[in-house]
C-alpha cells in the first residue's frame, strides 16, 4: 500500500501546484529596477574583472549605495547565467524568473513531503497552500528577488539534520552563501547536535559544514581585496535604518542606530538560544522565532524579508503537532 500512498501525496502536490501556476500566470512583474537588477549587475562586474566588494571602500558604512552585501554565491550564479549566453538584463531576467518559480515549487514539494511524513496530510496541504498563495510569496515572484534559493537550502538543512548532520550544515552554509538572512540561527545547530554527537564534534561539524561553502565562494574575493569584502558583509550591521514601510523599529524612535540599535534584537536572540539549549524548544521553532524577531526588531526592513518567518512557521508545524498529539513529546531527539 506504500505506492498508492505516494501517488496520493504527489497527486495533492500536483493539484495545488497546478492551481499556483494558474495564479502566477496572471502576475504582472515589476518593470522597475528592483534589487534583482543589482544582483545581475554584480555578476556582470565579476565577468569584467571588477571586484563587486570594492565599492564600499571610502563609504561611511552608514548610507547605502547598493553595495554588495551578500556572500558571493548568488553573484557567481548571476555571472554563470550570463556566461551561458544571457548577458543582457532582459534575457538574464527571463531565465532567473523561470529558475525562481521552479525553486519555489521544489520548496513546496520538500515541505509537503516533510509535513505529510512528520504530521499529517491535512497539515501538509495547509502548509503548501500557505507557501504558494501567501501574498509575501507572490511579492517575491513579482520583484523576482533571491530569497527562494536561500530558503531552499534552509529547508533542505532542517529536513536532513537528524539523519545527516554534516550535510545539513553544508546546506545551511549554502543558504548563507546565497543570502545570510538566517545567520543568527547558526547557534541552534550547535545546541541541537550536541545531544547526538557531543559538544566537540558538534562544534567541529558546525565550523566545517557551515564554513565550507562560504569559504569556497568567498576566498577568491578575500584574496582579491579582504578589506572591501569584510566591510561589504558587515555593512548590513552598521547601515542606517531603512524600510519599504511606514513602520519604524523601536530603536529608531529613540535615535539608536547601527549596532546599538540592534541590542534589543540580540537580547531576544540570546533568549531563544537559551530556550533551545535547555531543550524547551526544538530547532525548527527556534529558527522561526529567530526570523520573526529579526523581522520585528531589525531597523532595516524590506518587503522581501517577510517571507522568511512565513516559511519558518510552516517548518515549525511538525513540532507544534507533536506538542499537542496524545502520547508524544514536544522535544525533538536528533
What is the mean pLDDT of the segment spanning 258-273? 87
The answer as to whether 18 is a domain residue is yes
Tell which wins on pLDDT, 13 or 33.
Answer: 13
Q: Determine which helix (DSSP H) or strand (DSSP E) holds 155, and give its type and residue range.
A: helix 147-160
The answer as to whether 86 is a domain residue is yes
What pLDDT digit, counting tens, does each position of 291-321 carry?
Answer: 999 999 887 788 999 999 999 999 999 998 8
Number of compact structural domains in the chain: 1
The answer as to whether 334 is a domain residue is no
pLDDT of residue 330: 42
pTM, two decimals, is 0.91
The answer as to whether 333 is a domain residue is no
**Would the pLDDT of 74 be above 90?**
yes
Percent of the chain at pLDDT above 70?
88
The answer as to whether 269 is a domain residue is yes
pLDDT of residue 267: 95
d(CA 334, CA 162): 5
The answer as to whether 330 is a domain residue is no
The answer as to whether 95 is a domain residue is yes
Quick one: pLDDT band at residue 60, thresholds 50, 70, 90? confident
Quick one: pLDDT band at residue 61, thresholds 50, 70, 90? confident
Backbone φ, ψ for residue 276 (5° rounding):
-75, -40
Length in residues, the chain: 334
The answer as to whether 130 is a domain residue is yes
Domain span including residue 218: 8-324
Mean pLDDT, the chain, integer: 89
Amino acid at each position: 500500500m506504500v505506492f498508492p500512498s505516494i501517488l496520493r501525496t504527489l497527486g495533492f502536490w500536483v493539484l495545488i501546484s497546478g492551481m499556483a501556476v494558474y495564479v502566477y500566470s496572471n502576475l504582472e512583474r515589476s518593470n522597475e529596477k528592483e534589487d534583482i537588477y543589482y544582483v545581475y549587475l554584480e555578476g556582470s562586474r565579476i565577468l569584467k574583472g571588477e571586484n563587486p566588494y570594492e565599492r564600499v571602500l571610502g563609504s561611511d558604512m552608514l548610507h547605502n549605495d547598493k553595495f554588495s552585501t551578500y556572500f558571493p554565491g548568488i553573484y557567481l550564479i548571476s555571472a554563470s547565467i550570463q556566461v551561458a549566453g544571457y548577458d543582457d538584463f532582459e534575457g538574464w531576467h527571463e531565465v532567473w524568473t523561470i529558475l525562481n518559480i521552479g525553486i519555489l515549487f521544489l520548496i513546496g514539494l520538500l515541505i509537503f513531503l516533510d509535513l505529510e511524513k512528520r504530521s499529517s496530510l491535512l497539515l501538509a496541504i495547509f502548509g503548501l497552500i500557505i507557501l504558494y498563495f501567501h501574498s509575501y510569496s507572490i511579492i517575491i515572484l513579482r520583484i523576482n528577488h533571491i530569497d527562494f534559493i536561500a530558503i531552499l537550502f534552509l529547508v533542505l538543512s532542517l529536513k536532513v539534520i537528524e539523519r545527516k548532520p554534516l550535510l545539513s550544515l553544508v546546506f545551511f552554509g549554502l543558504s548563507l552563501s546565497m543570502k545570510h538572512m538566517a545567520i543568527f540561527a547558526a547557534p541552534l545547530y550547535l545546541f541541537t547536535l550536541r545531544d547526538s554527537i557531543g559538544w566537540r564534534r558538534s562544534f567541529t561539524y558546525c565550523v566545517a559544514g557551515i564554513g565550507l561553502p562560504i569559504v569556497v565562494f568567498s576566498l577568491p574575493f578575500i584574496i582579491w581585496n579582504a578589506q572591501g569584502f569584510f566591510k561589504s558583509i558587515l555593512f548590513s550591521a552598521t547601515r542606517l535604518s531603512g524600510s519599504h514601510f511606514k513602520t519604524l523599529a523601536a530603536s529608531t524612535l529613540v535615535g539608536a542606530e547601527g549596532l546599538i540599535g540592534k541590542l534589543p534584537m540580540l537580547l531576544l536572540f540570546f533568549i531563544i538560544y537559551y530556550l533551545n539549549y535547555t531543550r524547551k524548544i526544538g530547532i525548527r521553532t527556534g529558527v522561526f522565532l529567530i526570523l520573526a524577531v529579526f523581522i520585528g526588531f531589525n531597523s532595516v526592513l524590506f518587503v522581501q524579508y517577510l517571507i522568511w518567518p512565513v516559511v519558518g512557521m510552516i517548518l515549525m508545524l511538525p513540532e507544534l503537532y507533536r506538542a499537542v498529539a496524545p502520547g508524544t513529546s514536544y522535544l525533538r531527539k536528533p
